[in-house]
Chain A
Amino acid sequence: MIQFHDVHKSFGTRNVLNGFSLAIPEGQTTVLMGFSGTGKSVALKHIVGLLEPDAGRVEVDGETVGDLAYEELMRLRTRIGFVFQFAALFDSLTVHDNLSLGLKRQGLPPDEIATRVTESLRLVELSDAELRFPAELSGGMRKRVGIARAIALRPRYILYDEPTTGLDPVTTAAMDELMLRARHELGATSVVVTHDVRSAFAIADRIAFLHEGRIRQVGTVEEIRATDDALVRGFILGRPATGERV
């Protein structure tokens, strides 16, 4: 289980997370939704220790991420797959090598690595792209390779940072389908950062709405759809809220 306890994070004078608390239940897909710049991606990066909180703590499986020694942090990271907003594939490596890098680090034998790479690429329907370089792929294909790289690790948790940003509606729907499939096949707990409302409703078990660095509302898709909160409602409907009213 992942838990944020009163996390504060600033960059210079800008407070990004401001008392952010949230528990992410096992085996479900939790979507972090909110306006741009409200700290969704920053929250996600705290889970893998890419960022450290100024105050408060983040726990994964009962371990406080900020207190972990180097080797413990590395072990924790092997249980987490991270899908970056722009895929963050390694330019100089083929798709196959992008996927196998993390598996080699885990010390898996070559035949097991080959199997995992093949299976993961099949899951994202990119079996024929194994020997291509990232520069030869479209934006959507890169994102799918990014997902394949994460799921090849067979992680306990998968973190998606804006996986559908910049994609057309059809590719977005395909990505949603892919995230659902990854969850069902791996049984992994997923955390998805997005401001794509349609995508959030399609994949979420729970939605947490962030505003000004803290949780404004948490609930199931139905609860969020029926919210009385003018700000959340305005976001869902794509209308600017005036003060607290839609």
Chain B
Amino acid sequence: MSRVRDFFVLSGRWVIEGRRALSEGAIWRPLLFGQMRKLGVDSIPVAVFVAVFTGIVLALLSSYMFTRAIPLYFVGTLVTKAVMLELGPVLTGMALAGRVGANVAAELGTMRVTEQVDALETLAISPHAYLVTPRVIAAILMFPVVTAVAMAVGVLSGWFTAVNLLDLSSVEFLRGARQFYNFKDIWFGLVKSASFGGVVATMGCFEGLSARGGAEGVGRATTRAVVLGCQAILVLDAFWALVLL
């Protein structure tokens, strides 16, 4: 019972600190672009790697499923829909939960156990304004950008596979992709990924700043940040499907 109470007390404190930190733009604004590069741009290779193989597998699986009963150009439909609506945002989110969540938790955890966070406080600088806010905002802004790149690469990779390994032309692939295309498919995935970014960065910051007990504590915090980040992505994915579809 006391753990539940502690959780709500801590969450409430984070909300209050977060709102206050947002108003301290002079502290976090200069750090924002650096974090956008570090958490977003530097994550693009990982996202591209995941997207390439997702596109290949989707194209091959759909051609396997569509044998005889369904026209093969539906490979284009399935690849596009699956990448944009689900696999692009979720797999990119998962990959970034590992990369970004671990990075943030380890960095802030090390700062916590080496008293750098205390040092910030003694300099009258809020750790929420200096450490948490730029990371969370950067992740919210950059996860959709990385996801958009991953979506494009995933579809291109599916197209490339379909054209080269399946008996399908580019025209047929495009026909399938266009047949059930809806603009909502894109923004739905991007909205989801923005929420994934927010939750992954928040988990990383929360676990990092809660780290105790040296290297072991930092390791524990990092693991928890990644696991909780991935779990939160799955929960949010279901939530957005319920709310927006």
Contact = CB atoms under 8 A, between A and B. Distances in A.
A and B pair up: yes
Contacts of B111: 90-91
A45 B118 contact: yes
A77 B115 contact: no
7 contacts: A45-B118, A84-B118, A85-B115, A86-B115, A91-B111, A105-B27, A153-B123
A48 B124 CA distance: 10
Contact of B121 (A50, A86, A90): A50
Contacts of B122: 48, 50, 77, 80-82
Contacts of B22: none
A88 B115 contact: yes
Contact of B119 (A49, A74, A78, A88): A88
Nearest to A155: B122
Contacts of A70: 20
Contact of A86 (B27, B110, B114, B120): B114
A105 B115 contact: no
B125 interface: yes
Nearest to B118: A50
Contacts of B169: none
B116 interface: yes
A27 interface: no
Contacts of A74: 124
Given A49-B121, A88-B114, A105-B27, 14 more contacts: A45-B118, A48-B122, A50-B118, A50-B122, A77-B121, A84-B118, A85-B115, A89-B116, A90-B116, A90-B119, A91-B116, A102-B124, A106-B124, A153-B123
Nearest to B117: A88
B114 A78 contact: no
A102 to B, nearest CB: 4
A66 to B, nearest CB: 15
Interface of A is mostly: loop
A131 interface: no
B144 to A, nearest CB: 26
B116 A48 contact: no
Interface of B: 20, 27, 110-111, 114-116, 118-125
A101 B115 contact: no
Contacts of A85: 115
B202 to A, nearest CB: 21
A218 B118 CA distance: 29
Interface of B is mostly: helix
Interface in A198-237: none
Contacts of A48: 121-122
Contacts of B115: 84-86, 88
Nearest to B123: A102
Nearest to B17: A70
Nearest to A90: B116
A129 to B, nearest CB: 18
A105 B123 contact: yes
B145 to A, nearest CB: 24
B123 A101 contact: yes
B152 to A, nearest CB: 33
Contacts of B124: 74-75, 77-78, 102, 105-106
Contacts of A81: 122
A142 to B, nearest CB: 11
A205 B192 CA distance: 62
Contacts of B125: 101-102, 105
Nearest to A48: B122
Interface in A27-51: 45, 48-50
A77 B116 contact: no
A133 B119 CA distance: 17
Contacts of A91: 110-111, 116
Contacts of B110: 91
Most buried by A among B120, B123, B125: B123
A90 B111 CA distance: 8
Most buried by A among B110, B118, B121, B122: B122
Most buried by A among B111, B116, B125: B116
A82 B119 contact: yes
A219 to B, nearest CB: 29
